Structure 1
Amino acid sequence: FPDGQSHLNLFNSRQQPKKKRKSRTAFTNHQIYELEKRFLYQKYLSPADRDEIAASLGLTNAQVITWFQNRRAKLKRDLEELKKDVESTKYLTVQKSFLENVQDLGVLKKKPVVNEDDCPKNLVVSSDK
């Protein structure tokens, strides 16, 4: 740029108006209860169901859509976490079972200390060859 202006200044000069984001909705306990109750047997809503729920709970369609999307995502996360827990439990059970079997075979048991009582009495040990 001939006048020493950087290309960043040109970008800044044509700022576009930013959309104002809607603030986070704080659902009431009653709304959450009703949404959860519905979610138990219906993971996806038809437009008519959505309208009915939104009207009965004093929410917008967009809020109901977003709540159900977020709730399905949470369910998916929870199921994946549960699956990991089950897999790790299976692994630990197999590991524990293996160790118990090894112990039953006596592989991990210490060899008993040999003392005089364990030796046969008629054994003769000769030192001359």
Structure 2
Amino acid sequence: MAGGQCFCGAVRFSAELPSKWVAHCHCSMCRRAHGAAFVTWVGMEESRCVIDDEQACLQWYESSAGAQRGFCTRCGSTVFFRSERWPGELHITLANFSDPVDRAPQVHAFWDTHVDWAAVDPQDGLPRKTPT
């Protein structure tokens, strides 16, 4: 089991490992939603995740057709992503986990849209994937 929270702690979660995958996403939507060069996501089976939102701060935003990003309305942290493209999965930002997860990042996703202004270790050994 691994848990975490948003920046202010109002939205908490726990995820029963194993994860499905861990990936650095370089898509433009993740960049804009997080204000970062890329976002590292942990792919989980949604049925193995529990979201604790006792303070009713979690809001879901439809960022594109069939896809939603879950964020805290108090602190603004975007913590979750779900999409019809990956049914039954909940993607959770690795940076919001308080506990270690079961694997390191395995791939750079949407590499074709990465930015040149942020350095990525060319020797990290991870495949650079483009959408299919």
Does the alignment reach a TM-score above 0.5? no
Q: Give the number of the structure whose residues are more often helix, by fraction.
A: 1
* TM-score class, shorter: under 0.3
Q: TM-score, normalised by structure 2?
A: 0.21
Which has the bigger relative contact order, CA under 8 A and spacing at least 6? 2
Q: TM-score, normalised by structure 1?
A: 0.21
Structure with greater Cα Rg: 1
Q: Give the number of the structure whose residues are more often strand, by fraction.
A: 2
